[in-house]
Chains A and B, each alone.
Chain A
Amino acid sequence: MVTELEWLRWIPLLPGAVAATHGVLLGLLRRPLSRGATIFLSCGAVLGSFLLSLAALWQLISLPEGKRFLGDTVAPWIGAGRFSADIAFSLDPISAVMILLVSGVGLLIHVYSIGYMDHDLRDDKGFPRFFCYLNLFTFSMLVLVLADNLPLMFLGWEGVGLCSYLLIGFWYSDRWNAYCGAKAFVVNRIGDFGFLVGIFLLFTAIAGVLPPERANEAVVFRQIEAVFPLIAEKTIQLPHWLGWLPGAPEWKLATLIGLCFFVGAAGKSAQIPLYVWLPDAMAGPTPVSALIHAATMVTAGVYMVCRMSFLFAEAPGASSVIAWTGGATALFAATLALVQTDIKKVLAYSTVSQLGYMFLAAGCGGYSAAMFHLLTHGFFKALLFLGAGAVILALHHEQDIEKMGGLNRFIPWWRPTHLCFLVGVLAIAGAPGLSGFFSKDEVLLAAYTAEHVPGHRWLWGMGLATAGLTAFYMFRLHFRVFFGAPRMKDAAKHAIHEAPSTVTTPLVILAVLSALAGLAGLPQLYGDWLQIANSNSLANFQAQALASAHVHEVPHVVEIQLALAAVSVATLGGLTAWLLYLRRPELPEKLAAALAVPYRLLRDNYRVDEFYDRVLVSPLVWISERVLWKGVDDRLIDGVAVLGTARSVQRLASHGLKYAQSGLTQSYLVLMLLGATAVVAYLLG
């Protein structure tokens, strides 16, 4: 069943080794590599990973369908009682898609970073340090994706969180960046807690049904999947005070485990209520936003849900929660993206919204739609971020779209920066034929047909509305940046220049991928037109690894109607943007004035940060400071325990014991004698 592939380990280990080399040279020896050596090693390692990934995919495809599974056990790792986990990697269809995305987009972004960081360095040591973190991230992400068991996946999960923290706060001398990094880390910890609890629950349940001699396999994905049917129907009793929950007092264990896993996924993939860190994560350098906070790391949650799809398919309650959270996040974040003025913030909220789409699909049982959208989003969102980075470079670190405009005059539409950005905008808006169109349709179709999810038509409606909003805010962004009158200062106008070729080349490649990636998952509907059998090669390829429950076939007529609805809503959004920002540029201000209250609410991001601050952070800080620090630590531990002991000894000695020290030799002698007598008396009984 498992085919050994002993070089699988080198896919993550190549970048890992380079990151370690950088770490030793930078951290221990304080001798950073030169620019050339950094580029050679770092980009070379990711290139190596990418080539190995391609070779591994080739190996995988050459296996017969249904048995596509490659494994590589490196070393035993943890062993404690019945629990054990190995350092082992495994490749199956969904991880194969992921490693290609991670190493492929990762490679492009490494190359892009060469040109970008040259223009954006704030201290001389930054260059190797940046690439060290990028390599470490690539390593962690590949470990996460390729992990054969849950603990190893968790290791990669934590690793990408750490790299996210390090890279958001890359320019740590600016306090705000350091704060944003810490915020991302702390919010992610909340999710990680849920993930860990889920792992523990699942381990106890699985280890309970496995024979003792095989209990050590209880964390291996393949094994969990094989024995999961044994615990699928297991239920647990909820405590009385949770009696108000739907389905109480008896829950399926799978539902509880699934919810715990989803808490982890919501943290990593920035879903309500844990999405607040992602917009602030834009404090990091733009290539980081593209790689970590758009294309790869934030999709880890979706990947995890798909990896555990056999569990979620048995947990309808958890799936409904996922679908509704995803749908709500998609719509919610899309409304926020409408009014952002920072070019990266628009894209950040857009990322949150698109991640919501993926969860919407996964929650509705459309795991392959979720993976498809993950892939296409990885391409077009990386493209948009890199394009935004090129714009930011062209304008010398201006991120405010209110100070852009009219860039078309300096960078006409046929220049790579402009053209690629346009392709990205069209792809995410769902222009027919481009990748976003196909994947978004799959997501909406999954929501439309998910009859087991309560209110699935509402979810579909939310998804459709989001599609319209997405088209609107993306075209707004494009028009505000490239069209209209230039709003930058005159001095800045003359300095506008296009980015170097290391920046534009990845853009072009990503643009091609964004345009064409949809063909990998071409729905059968279009396949029939073009007379291609099994046109949805991505879904067919991944079918082995994903649960296929709850996929309802719908007539092609319905599918066409749905696609038409999505396209018309998107066109409506785009036309509105055109009307507001090109045709009647004075309208947006009037509109904002007329709708002052909702506009203020959106500009303040629904005051969610303030709400969290008031309800969660402030009380926590107050308790930490007043109770734990000033109370427990200062008063109790320091005051009573440490100083109290010292003070009472001092008081006892200075008021009583000191009189024993009389200075008279003979009084000491008396005491000695009494003591000796006492000892002898005791010994004699």
Chain B
Amino acid sequence: MVVPLTHVIGLSAILFAIGTIGALTRRNLVVILMSIELMLNAVNLSFVAFARAWGGVEGHVFVLMVITVAAAEVAVGLGIVISLFRNRDSVDVEDVSLLRW
């Protein structure tokens, strides 16, 4: 069974929207990181879908890149979150608005 391209792109869009809303509305830093991960994977999905539909390999290559960068980003991001939690006993973004006017 071949899934039509539009379905996959639709799924990708839904996932991206969920990720965006999560990143914008949640206060917990860990959840925000997860939401960003969701957005990245939504994009990965559309890359793969287009690559498959048009028979290129650039999409696959990009996905591998994104996965690598996402892994690095999570490592750094979670490291910051842990360090933040140790210092302030909180992972709430509203508690870390020090760099402001």
Q: Are A662 and B93 in contact (CB under 8 A)?
A: no
Contact partner, A658, options B24, B93, B96, B101, Cβ 8 Å: B101
Q: Are A670 and B94 in contact (CB under 8 A)?
A: no
Interface residue B99 (Cβ < 8 Å from any Cβ of A): yes
Among residues of A, the one whose C-beta sits closest to the C-beta of B101 is A658
CA distance A665 to B32 in the complex (A): 11
B residues in contact with A666, CB < 8 Å: 23-24, 32, 93
A652-663: contact bitstring with B at CB < 8 Å (1 yes, 0 no)? Answer: 000000110111
Q: Are B101 and A664 in contact (CB under 8 A)?
A: no
Q: Are B24 and A663 in contact (CB under 8 A)?
A: no
Interface residue A641 (Cβ < 8 Å from any Cβ of B): no
**Among residues 619 to 674 in chain A, which have CB atoms less than 8 Å away from a CB atom of chain B?**
658-659, 661-666, 669-670, 673
Among residues of B, the one whose C-beta sits closest to the C-beta of A659 is B101
Q: Are B23 and A663 in contact (CB under 8 A)?
A: no
Q: Are A663 and B100 in contact (CB under 8 A)?
A: yes
How distant is B94 from chain A, measured CB to nearest CB, in Å?
Answer: 7
A residues in contact with B23, CB < 8 Å: 666, 669
Q: Are B24 and A669 in contact (CB under 8 A)?
A: yes
Contact partner, A662, options B24, B32, B97, Cβ 8 Å: B97
Among residues of B, the one whose C-beta sits closest to the C-beta of A653 is B101
Q: Are A664 and B97 in contact (CB under 8 A)?
A: yes
Q: Are B97 and A663 in contact (CB under 8 A)?
A: yes
B residues in contact with A662, CB < 8 Å: 97, 100-101
Among residues of B, the one whose C-beta sits closest to the C-beta of A670 is B24
How distant is A651 from chain B, measured CB to nearest CB, in Å?
Answer: 15
Contact partner, A664, options B20, B32, B94, Cβ 8 Å: B94
Q: Are A661 and B24 in contact (CB under 8 A)?
A: no
Among residues of A, the one whose C-beta sits closest to the C-beta of B26 is A666
Q: Are A664 and B93 in contact (CB under 8 A)?
A: yes
How distant is A680 from chain B, measured CB to nearest CB, in Å?
Answer: 13
Interface residue B98 (Cβ < 8 Å from any Cβ of A): yes
Contact partner, A661, options B20, B32, B93, B100, Cβ 8 Å: B100
How distant is B30 from chain A, measured CB to nearest CB, in Å?
Answer: 13
A residues in contact with B32, CB < 8 Å: 665-666
How distant is A655 from chain B, measured CB to nearest CB, in Å?
Answer: 11
Among residues of B, the one whose C-beta sits closest to the C-beta of A660 is B101
A56-71: contact bitstring with B at CB < 8 Å (1 yes, 0 no)? Answer: 0000000000000000
Select the residue from A661, A662, A665 with max chain B CB neighbours within 10 A: A665
**Among residues 65 to 101 in chain B, which have CB atoms less than 8 Å away from a CB atom of chain A?**
93-94, 96-101
Q: Are A663 and B99 in contact (CB under 8 A)?
A: yes
A residues in contact with B97, CB < 8 Å: 662-665
Q: Dominant SS at the B interface?
A: helix
CA distance A478 to B32 in the complex (A): 107
How many chain-B residues does the 8 Å CB contact rule pick out?
12
B11-43: contact bitstring with A at CB < 8 Å (1 yes, 0 no)? Answer: 000000000100110000000100000000000
Q: Are A663 and B98 in contact (CB under 8 A)?
A: yes
How distant is A212 from chain B, measured CB to nearest CB, in Å?
Answer: 62
CA distance A661 to B98 in the complex (A): 10
Select the residue from B20, B98, B99, B100 with max chain A CB neighbours within 10 A: B100
CA distance A662 to B94 in the complex (A): 11
CA distance A658 to B99 in the complex (A): 12
A residues in contact with B20, CB < 8 Å: 673
B residues in contact with A670, CB < 8 Å: 24
B residues in contact with A664, CB < 8 Å: 93-94, 97, 100
A residues in contact with B96, CB < 8 Å: 665
Among residues of B, the one whose C-beta sits closest to the C-beta of A673 is B20
Select the residue from A659, A662, A666, A669 with max chain B CB neighbours within 10 A: A666
Q: Are A661 and B94 in contact (CB under 8 A)?
A: no
B residues in contact with A669, CB < 8 Å: 23-24
CA distance A179 to B32 in the complex (A): 77
CA distance A663 to B99 in the complex (A): 5
CA distance A661 to B100 in the complex (A): 5
How distant is B74 from chain A, measured CB to nearest CB, in Å?
Answer: 17
How distant is A232 from chain B, measured CB to nearest CB, in Å?
Answer: 79
How distant is A597 from chain B, measured CB to nearest CB, in Å?
Answer: 79
How distant is B49 from chain A, measured CB to nearest CB, in Å?
Answer: 19
CA distance A27 to B21 in the complex (A): 74
CA distance A663 to B94 in the complex (A): 9
CA distance A666 to B33 in the complex (A): 12
A residues in contact with B101, CB < 8 Å: 658-659, 661-663
CA distance A664 to B29 in the complex (A): 12
Select the residue from A658, A661, A663 with max chain B CB neighbours within 10 A: A663
CA distance A673 to B39 in the complex (A): 12
CA distance A665 to B92 in the complex (A): 11
CA distance A670 to B93 in the complex (A): 14
Among residues of B, the one whose C-beta sits closest to the C-beta of A657 is B101
How distant is B31 from chain A, measured CB to nearest CB, in Å?
Answer: 12
CA distance A101 to B7 in the complex (A): 104
CA distance A461 to B93 in the complex (A): 104
CA distance A487 to B97 in the complex (A): 94
CA distance A664 to B99 in the complex (A): 8
Among residues of B, the one whose C-beta sits closest to the C-beta of A663 is B100
CA distance A665 to B98 in the complex (A): 10
A residues in contact with B98, CB < 8 Å: 663
CA distance A560 to B24 in the complex (A): 116
CA distance A605 to B1 in the complex (A): 115
How distant is A413 from chain B, measured CB to nearest CB, in Å?
Answer: 95
B44-80: contact bitstring with A at CB < 8 Å (1 yes, 0 no)? Answer: 0000000000000000000000000000000000000
A461-487: contact bitstring with B at CB < 8 Å (1 yes, 0 no)? Answer: 000000000000000000000000000
Among residues of A, the one whose C-beta sits closest to the C-beta of B97 is A663
CA distance A670 to B23 in the complex (A): 10
Residues of A with Cβ closer than 8 Å to B? 658-659, 661-666, 669-670, 673
Known: A665-B96, A665-B97. 14 other contacts (CB 8 A): A658-B101, A659-B101, A661-B99, A662-B97, A662-B100, A662-B101, A663-B98, A663-B100, A663-B101, A664-B97, A664-B100, A665-B93, A666-B23, A669-B23
A-B pairs with lowest CB-CB distance, top 3: A663-B100, A663-B97, A658-B101
Could you give 13 example pairs across A and B, Cβ below 8 Å? A658-B101, A661-B99, A662-B100, A662-B101, A663-B98, A664-B93, A664-B97, A665-B93, A666-B24, A666-B32, A666-B93, A669-B23, A670-B24
